[in-house]
Amino acid sequence: MKKVKGRILVIDDDRDVLHSAHMVLKPVFGEVITESNPQQINYLITHNTYDVILLDMNYTAGVTSGKEGLFWLKSIKERVPEQQVVMITAYGDIKLAVEAMKIGAADFVVKPWENEKLQATVLSAYNHSQSKKEVEALKDEQKSLKALISSQASDIVGNSEPIRQVFKVVDKVARTDANVLILGENGTGKELVAKEMHQKSNRSAGAFIRVDLGSLSESLFESELFGHKKGAFTDAKGDKKGRFELAKGGTLFLDEIGNLPLPQQAKLLTAIQSKEIFRLGENEPISIDCRIIAATNNDLHAMVEAKKFREDLLYRLNTVELTIPPLRERASDIALLAGHFLDVFSQKYRKSKMDLEDDAIKYLSGYLWPGNVRELQHAVERAVIMSDGHRLGSSDFLLDDKKVNLPPSTLNLDEMEKVAIEKAITKNQGNISKAAKELGLGRTTIYRKLDKYGIRY
């Protein structure tokens, strides 16, 4: 009989019976624990998990009623309803065994037992236990996937040159399994781009699983990403798959990667490098198969220089690095996006077909949009909700007038940065180190920006 990983608990006050059961079951199961005192049952099942429990019917000398066994069976089933329990009974107590099965026992064995019969009975209960766990795990997985997977389409709206460049990169990279790092300000649509990349990938049939690393406490990090075994910690009421497992065959989107503390960065790096994880409370490794897409609004290269982000993790994540332009750099898309959101929210709030007045388009196009596409989306939604008419004018949008119609020079931050770097280099007579120091930049960062802006020195 092939050995399985099962964990078996045998409870009997007769130490000879315990020794015999251990000898018979050990060749078949990974771990066999014996206990002679039934008073330890509550402690044992509270602090440990068992695939099958073998439970004697009587524990007091001279008592043969079986009431003690039935009492402990009820106690076990109340605490762990799904627990598989096989009753140990003496010959002639078959009626008691049948009563025990009505209460919830899986089966019974009669003393003295035949070794092969005992092995087969316990193995059958073990297999039933595994089947139930697989069903429950599937239910949990479906529940988790339902909560994690967005049903909305991930189409990106835009026709400007900056966004077309993003489309080109997405199309090139999507069908590879290369890890991707998406950079950009808050609200630029980094998650939307990640979803688009997943939909166009060879993993599109798998799940797109998002995890907000910025919201995870240190204590929840491993449980959420790697999963946990029942009893691994106080609130671990059952086995739970982590996000890496849920993303099997699909894509794992690690949002806000720049907010991850260094200790958790090390654990994440180990998982990505080894392609395996360990659930909390479990020693068996689990192979992982998912594509990693990470995103942040932080400058990870600068964080590396400041020793706040691991360089080895950065280079594991940014096989391909993609920067999403802010909305102020794709102003020609504002009217298109506003129209798109207008259609979406008109339908959502059951309003007749709505349109934008010319002055509204001009007004929206002249706004700085520090919150980017997300801010535009919220502005249109609010206007749709509050409007009584079918056409939205500039007065329907409650924006900060201080950020409307700003001089063109303030709209292009990249251009301002380029000019500042050029001035610093000229001032310092081409000494890049001094220029970097004056600008508050690290050497790696300034060289990267020189390359970005095509600055010759």
Kindly report, residue by residue over 73-104, the tens digit of the pLDDT.
Answer: 999 999 999 899 999 987 656 778 788 889 99
Domain 412-453 fold is Arc Repressor Mutant, subunit A (1.10.10)
CATH 1.20.210.10 is right for the domain spanning 327-409: no
The pLDDT of residue 138 is above 80: no
Structure letter (DSSP) for residue 242: -
pLDDT band per the 50, 70, 90 thresholds, residue 410: very low
Give the integer Cα–Cα distance in Å for 124 and 122: 5
User: Per-residue pLDDT averaged across 367-374, rounded?
Assistant: 93
Please determine, looking at this structure, whether the domain spanning 161-323 carries the CATH number 3.40.50.300: yes
Rounded CA gap, 97 and 103, in Å? Answer: 10
Mean pLDDT of 195-201: 94
Pair of tokens at residue 200: 């166009």
From the list 416, 413, 343, the residue with the least C-alpha distance to 380 is 343
- The two three-digit tokens of residue 179, written as one number: 């890890």
Cis link prior to 261 (omega < 30° from 0)?
no
Residue 208 has pLDDT above 90, yes or no: yes
**Do residues 370 and 329 make contact, with C-beta atoms less than 8 angstroms apart?**
no
Beta-ladder partners of 109:
88
- 431 pLDDT band (50/70/90 cuts)? confident
- The predicted pLDDT at position 221 comes to 92
The answer to whether 4-134 and 161-323 have equal CATH topology is: yes
Flag whether pLDDT at 154 surpasses 50.
no
Specify the pLDDT at position 435: 83
pLDDT of 145 reads: 56
What's the whole-number average pLDDT of the chain?
Answer: 87
Sorted by where each begins, the domain ranges of the chain are 4-134, 161-323, 327-409, 412-453
Confirm if 297 and 250 have CB atoms less than 8 A apart: no
- Provide the pLDDT for residue 140: 64
Question: At 282, phi and psi to the nearest 5?
Answer: -130, 145
Q: Residue 432: pLDDT above 50?
A: yes
- Whole-angstrom Cα distance, residue 290 to residue 160? 32
How much is the average pLDDT of 418-444?
A: 80
Task: Centre a 10 Å sphere on the Cβ of residue 134 and count the other Cβ atoms it contains.
Answer: 10
The Cα 294–Cα 317 span in angstroms is 7
Q: List, for residues 230-286, the tens digit of each pLDDT value.
A: 888 877 778 889 999 999 999 999 999 999 999 999 999 999 999 999 999 888 899
User: Which tokens hold the place of 321?
Assistant: 């690095």
Segment 49-72, tens digit of pLDDT: 999 999 998 887 666 678 889 999
Q: CB neighbours of 259 closer than 8 A, spacing ≥ 6?
A: 213, 214, 296, 298
> For a pLDDT cut of 70, what percent of the chain falls above it?
90
pLDDT above 70 (res 219)? yes
| Residue 139 pLDDT | 61
At 423 the pLDDT is 78
C-beta of residue 21 within 8 angstroms of C-beta of residue 32: yes
The structural architecture, per CATH, of the domain 4-134 is: 3-Layer(aba) Sandwich (3.40)
Of the candidates 328, 418, 311, the residue with the CA atom closest to the CA atom of residue 365 = 328
- The confidence score (pLDDT) of residue 420 equals 78
Chain-centre distance for alpha carbon 373: 25
At residue 407, the pLDDT reads 43
Beta strand 291-296 with 180-183: parallel, antiparallel or unpaired?
Answer: parallel
CA 405 to chain centre: 42
Q: Are 35 and 59 in contact (CB under 8 A)?
A: no
> pLDDT at residue 155 above 90?
no
Which of 33-42, 129-138, 155-164, 278-287 comes out lowest in average pLDDT? 129-138
Best mean pLDDT range from 59-68, 105-114, 186-195: 186-195
